[in-house]
Amino acid sequence: MSRQRVLFAVARPPYPCDTGARIRSWNTLAGFAKRYDVDVISYCDPSMDLSETQAWVDGALELGVSRVEQIPNPALGHGTTVPQLISAAVRGLPVSTMKYRNDDFSRRFRDRLGQGYDLVHIETVHLAGEAASIVGESRPFVTLNAHNVECQIADRMRDLERFGPRWAALSLHARNMRRFECDAFRACDAVLAVSREDCDQIDRMCGVSGRAVLVENGVDDRYFTPGGADRECADELVFVGSMDWLPNVDGVIGFVRDVLPRIRQRRPAAHLSVVGRKPHPDVLALHDPANGVTVTGTVDDVRPYVHGAAVAVVPLRYGGGTRLKILEAFSMSTAVVSTSLGCEGILCKDEEHLMIRDDAESFASACLDLMDDGPKRQKVGEKGRKLALSEYVWPSVIGRMHDEIDRRRNGGGADARN
């Protein structure tokens, strides 16, 4: 009996797996490829080196994907243009979706729909406008992977601003994104959300109970393994993440400004490594090893930095979804200090799996507590790894995804995990 067919539409190649979004997309694609015959349609950046593009295609085929079709999109390599801003304002669309509106892609996507797919998966909400073209009595089942609730991120960014031009621009973006996401969620049969909080919000936004499916972020526990207490330094702190993502930029700047000086008052040798790709100029400006801050930029392997740290810090003030950086630190048995928002959506407990603190003084105190007390940070790290192994390894996460999609396709109700 032949396997069912899936069309997997992705806005950007999820390779190499060097961001949280790419990691989630790659593991979702791998999960589909193990079970279905999968064709991929993707944008690609024509300015990228051909070897990078070929590496993505080769990697997808190694997963078991049948075919990868790529549509060049010059807009991917550039920031938002003035014409895009004007077009977004006129159409009432979120600016962040404009570079993914491409007639050639839409035409090829519609052509693909006529080739008899059983399921269409749309990877990230920015492509979700294509879901409106999936109509008819023989319409395939449609899933959307919602890495975040984007309008929530925009709301949280706006709420950190004082009234003024930036506040007004963020308010408009949040309103347009909310409308766009509501339409996208309603157009799909199941929306894969990373947390119970996101599930609840998605259901409220589309007005349909059970539309959202809980598919958490996961971790590769065979790659992210403990490094051993002998490899860590009690004075070392680490922040890991894509350093061009604004919530990470805001979080690390706030930590260096408000938290690190408090830590260095008691531990003058305390040092923070900021590890991640494409550092924003404001992050690069923090680089000052003499005063306890090193900005590494892109590294081949984040694990030595996490293994060498007493504490992984996640001082986020806004954002959405769930943080893979926490799951990876958990899997490596590294103690974590996070804000409540930073660990949102993860089934973790304060003082057991990590320390949760929301103001600069208490955040610094929690870091110092763990830096000063080796047995305590070891215990916290071990509890974090136990949680990661029990709830968040990728095979288990993807297995639950398949179970829930099967239930929805067969007319079953929402899983109790929602």
Q: Angle, to 10 degrees, between the axis of helix 165-187 and the axis of helix 150-159?
A: 160
Residue scoring higher pLDDT (256 or 52): 256
pTM of the predicted model, to two decimals?
A: 0.88
Quick one: pLDDT at residue 169? 82
User: What are the tens digits of pLDDT across the range 327-379?
Assistant: 999 999 999 999 999 998 899 999 999 999 999 999 999 999 999 999 999 99
In degrees and rounded to multiples of 5, residue 94 shows phi and psi of -70, 135
Question: How far, in Å, CA of 349 to CA of 344, rounded?
Answer: 11
Note the residue count of the chain: 418
| Neighbour-count burial for 229-260, b at 16+ CB within 10 Å, e otherwise | eeebebbbbbbbbbbebebbbbbbbbbbeebb
Q: What is the mean pLDDT of residues 183-193?
A: 93
> Which among 258, 261, 249, 255 has a CA at the least distance from the CA of 291?
261
- Per-residue pLDDT for 415 more than 60? no
pLDDT digits (tens, 9 = 90+) for 266-291: 999 999 999 999 999 999 999 999 99
- Is the CATH code 3.40.50.2000 the one for domain 229-391? yes
pLDDT of residue 418: 41
Q: Which helix (H) or strand (E) is 165 found in, with range?
A: helix 165-187
Domain boundaries, the chain: 5-218+394-409, 229-391
Give the mean pLDDT of the chain. 91
Mean pLDDT throughout 159-174?
Answer: 83
The alpha helices in 19-67, defined as continuous H runs, are 20-35, 50-63
Class of the domain covering 5-218+394-409: alpha beta
Q: What is the pLDDT of residue 299?
A: 94
Q: What does residue 192 show for φ and ψ, rounded to 5 degrees?
A: -85, 110
Return the percentage of the chain with pLDDT > 70, whole number.
Answer: 96
SS3 string, 353-411, reads: CEEECCCHHHHHHHHHHHHHCHHHHHHHHHHHHHHHHHHCEHHHHHHHHHHHHHHHHCC
Report d(CA 313, CA 355) in Å as an integer.
10
Q: What is the pLDDT of residues 78-125, one digit of tens each?
A: 777 777 777 887 788 888 888 888 899 999 999 999 898 999 999 989
